[in-house]
Amino acid sequence: MNEQRASLPGTIAAWVVAFLMVFPILWMAITAFKTESEAIAIPPLLLFRPVLSSFAAALAQSGYLHFALNSIIVSLGSTVLAILIAFPAAYAMAFQPGRHTQDLLVWMLSTKMLPPVGVLVPIYLIFRDTGLLDTVEGLVIVDTLMNLPIVVWMLFSFFRDIPRDILEAAHMDGVGPRKQMMHLLLPLASPGIASAALLAIILSWNEAFWSINLTAAHAGTLAAYIARYSAPEGLFWAKLSAASVLAVAPILLFGCLAQRRLVRGLTVGAVK
């Protein structure tokens, strides 16, 4: 009984924090089903007749499918490219470490501490000179570079938990590094690779800074799609909320379906 009483404040605090985190998404979803006049009403209306006019306007006027397709291509493309680059890099760092391997890992992770705006000008100029502005290929490249440090770190952590005896036995049997990666590491580390890929997809889908600054109408993702709902005279709150719901719904559904796999992959090796 005492333990239950002691845990009650913690439970209440957890529910309060969870509500505060979910409330903006819940309010956005509620506003999406209002008319524009109801969306800007003061005080906010809690009782109203739901309508779908904002969703119809968002789908009809802004090319939702075009932006959604760009988001899918950029997320999957950057994830595949990041895994292909990070897999051999993490293998080398985990099983053939050098004197500066740990320093290299720390340096790679430290690049995530740099604000993206700090490198906007050089990247913009490089993309302009190479013809990558407003292209899906350019976004795939920049998202790959942004997510690569995290993917390398995750794969390195999973590889480090794999017993070295397995690879040493394969090496004594004449199995080279390439076959070791393909036939030993790939099956053993599949939960870790899957979790790294799922996280990279989510990060790429949610990325807004580069999509807004490096694209226009052709290669914009759903982040650019939402940004189109700003206007000099103000914001159309109901249409903006509907567009936001359409943008976040696919990745929320994907996250719910992949939650168990993601958590399982992130906790591999945590308990020996």
- The amino acid sitting at 17 is V
Residue 270: the pLDDT is 46
What whole-number distance in Å separates Cα of residue 65 and Cα of residue 245? 14
Residue 83: the pLDDT is 93
pLDDT in tens, 51-103: 888 888 878 777 788 888 999 999 999 999 999 999 888 888 888 787 888 88
* 63-228 classified as CATH 1.10.10.10: no
Query: What is the enclosing helix (H) or strand (E) of 119?
Result: none
Per DSSP, 166 falls in state H
pLDDT over threshold 80, residue 257: no
Residue 125: the pLDDT is 92
What whole-number distance in Å separates Cα of residue 193 and Cα of residue 268? 11
What whole-number distance in Å separates Cα of residue 233 and Cα of residue 215? 24
pLDDT in tens, 144-154: 999 999 899 88
Enumerate the domain spans of the chain. 63-228
Q: Is the pTM of this model over 0.85?
A: no
Query: Which residues make Cβ contacts (< 8 Å) with residue 43, sequence separation at least 6?
Result: none
**Mean of the per-residue pLDDT values of the chain:** 81
Residue with tokens 């976004």: 139
Q: How far is CA 55 from CA 135, 186, 202, 239, in A?
A: 27, 43, 24, 7
Stretch 160-165: mean pLDDT: 75
